[in-house]
Amino acid sequence: MSASAIPIAILTLFWLVVGCVLPFVIPKGPNRGLLQVILMLTAACCWIFWFCCYLAQMNPLIGPKLSNRTLILMAKQWGTGIDDL
């Protein structure tokens, strides 16, 4: 399984617009600098969060590999219905 370039490109472009274009559209006022920083940080954090979640799906975490003996012992201990062992 490999990452598709289309969602990465689309969402990167979207957050690039939010972080690089929208700060220049903010009207002049006493809080303009603060709003620009908020937009840039929001875009950066949201993109990083999305990218990490997207990449985590490429190599998902898999549980431990247990031997048959350990699985049988766990089944007996937890009473999961394996009676004939």
The tens digit of pLDDT for each residue in 15-67 reads 999 999 999 999 999 999 999 999 999 999 999 999 999 888 887 777 678 88
Q: Are the CB atoms for 23 and 40 separated by under 8 Å?
A: yes
pLDDT digits (tens, 9 = 90+) for 62-82: 767 888 888 888 888 888 766
Angle between helices 32-56 and 5-16 (to 10 degrees): 170
Structure tokens at 4: 């598709």
Residue 56 is predicted with a pLDDT of: 85
Of the two residues 15 and 2, the one the predictor is more confident about is 15
Return the ∠ at Cα 48 (arms to 52 and 50), rounded to 5°: 55
Residue 55 is predicted with a pLDDT of: 87
Helix (H, G, I), strand (E, B) or coil at 65: coil
Does the structure show a pLDDT above 80 at 2? no
